[in-house]
Amino acid sequence: MKARIFVTLKGGVLDPQGKAIHHALEGLGFGGVNDVRAGKLIELDLADGTSDEDIDAMCRKLLANTVIENYRIEKVA
Amino acid sequence: MKSAVIVFPGSNCDRDLAVAFEAATGTKPAMIWHRDTDLPDDIDLIGVPGGFSYGDYLRSGAMAARSPVMQAVAKAADRGAFVLGICNGFQVLTESGLLPGALLRNAGGNFVCRDVALTVENAQSAFTSRYEAGEAISYPVAHHDGNYFADDATLDRLEGEGRVALRYAENVNGSARNIAGILNEAGNVLGMMPHPERVIEAAHGATDGKRLFDGLVAGLLAKA
């Protein structure tokens, strides 16, 4: 069983990396990009039967810093 | 007077901090490896040094905060030992929950490495007793992730309780309310991005940091 964890900065938390990417896209001539936010994708290869609670705990205890980040869990069959 | 400096893979200010502790206490601190689960009994003072522990993997300080030794540090802090986290050490302390908030990438996106003017905001703490409230001092900074962030309620509480120890006189990294260093509720844990251990003797070119260590140690000895 696999799970994908998407970690993103909360709204209102400054993202200099996203800003730099935005700037670079503009530099390449791409117009119409209103904003860029960069995040992380963490893929977990898990033992079958790993509980949702455990995956959630992994996110809360390590994978995301919930002071500044949100996370979303996507289970992959 | 027992002191210790925690050493993580990737720490690079551990020896500087050990020199500062030894100069202030007269005794060499114990150097504690991150896999150790015990600290010396009755430890009085613990330093969490600067550097790039675990290569800043995941987030600055995130891996170090979950290392075995940090549970021992949290326990020692809980019973009143003094903990000083500098730079990466500050990041480790926020990641481990010993201090509130988080340290984000610098607002300008650049690594900032230079002397920075600071204001001593709270001169009543054990760490800042040898400074005057409002005193202008200068410590070097050297960091990429020093942009202090906390929600407004937390920032208001920190300010209301006198827990902002140091502020930037010039905001070099985007920190909320110019915060450079904060105390925990009990006042025995200080986290700060600037490096006092780099300005403790004339050969460093400045000695503004010396009073932090001397004042802290004198206070601890007086209490003992």
Model confidence at B77, in pLDDT bands (50, 70, 90)?
A: very high
Q: ipTM of this model? A: 0.89
CA-based nearest distance B98→chain A, Å:
13
Mean pLDDT check: name the lowest of B37-46, B50-59, B81-90, B189-198.
B37-46
CB contact under 8 A, B66 and A62: yes
CA-based nearest distance A13→chain B, Å:
8
Q: What pLDDT is attached to residue B49?
A: 98
Distance CA(B221)–CA(B24), nearest Å, equals: 11
Model confidence at B187, in pLDDT bands (50, 70, 90)?
A: very high
Model confidence at B41, in pLDDT bands (50, 70, 90)?
A: confident
Q: What pLDDT is attached to residue B222?
A: 85
Nearest residue of A to residue B62, measured between CA atoms: A62
* A10 to A67, B17, B28, B40, B149: CA distances (angstroms): 9, 35, 43, 40, 12
Which residues, in sequence order, are CB contacts of B155 under 8 Å at separation 6+? Answer: B176, B177, B179
* A17 to B58, B106, B107, B119, B144: CA distances (angstroms): 15, 10, 9, 29, 12
Distance CA(B4)–CA(B40), nearest Å, equals: 8
A14: nearest CB among B94, B147, B150 = B147
User: Is pLDDT of B40 > 90?
Assistant: no
Q: What pLDDT is attached to residue A12?
A: 87
Share of chain B above pLDDT 70, in %: 100
User: Is pLDDT of B83 > 80?
Assistant: yes
Q: Chain A contact for B149, CB < 8 A?
A: yes
Q: What pLDDT is attached to residue A41?
A: 98
Domains defined for chain B, CATH in brackets: 3-223 (3.40.50.880)
User: Is pLDDT of A74 > 80?
Assistant: yes
Nearest residue of B to residue A10, measured between CA atoms: B151
| Torsion angle (degrees, nearest 10) of CA A44, A48, A49, A51 | 0
CB contact under 8 A, B102 and A20: no
Model confidence at B22, in pLDDT bands (50, 70, 90)?
A: very high
Distance CA(A51)–CA(A47), nearest Å, equals: 10
* Tokens read off for B13: 């200010």
Distance CA(B190)–CA(B47), nearest Å, equals: 10
Q: Which residues of B are marked as active site?
A: 87, 195, 197
Q: What pLDDT is attached to residue B2?
A: 95
Instruction: Calculate the average pLDDT of chain B.
Output: 96
CB contact under 8 A, B104 and A68: yes
* Tokens read off for B76: 């020692």
Q: What pLDDT is attached to residue B110?
A: 93
Model confidence at A6, in pLDDT bands (50, 70, 90)?
A: very high
Nearest residue of A to residue B58, measured between CA atoms: A63
Q: Chain B contact for A16, CB < 8 A?
A: yes
Model confidence at B74, in pLDDT bands (50, 70, 90)?
A: very high
User: Is pLDDT of B201 > 80?
Assistant: yes
Q: What pLDDT is attached to residue B26?
A: 96
Among B191, B183, B190, which Cα is nearest to B145's? B191
Q: What pLDDT is attached to residue B191?
A: 98
Domains defined for chain A, CATH in brackets: 2-76 (3.30.1280.10)
User: Is pLDDT of B80 > 90?
Assistant: yes
* B218 to A36, B21, B100, B134: CA distances (angstroms): 51, 12, 27, 22
CA-based nearest distance A15→chain B, Å:
8
Distance CA(B5)–CA(B10), nearest Å, equals: 14
| A-B C-beta contacts closer than 8 Å | 36
CB contact under 8 A, A62 and B58: yes
Share of chain A above pLDDT 70, in %: 100
Q: Chain A contact for B108, CB < 8 A?
A: yes
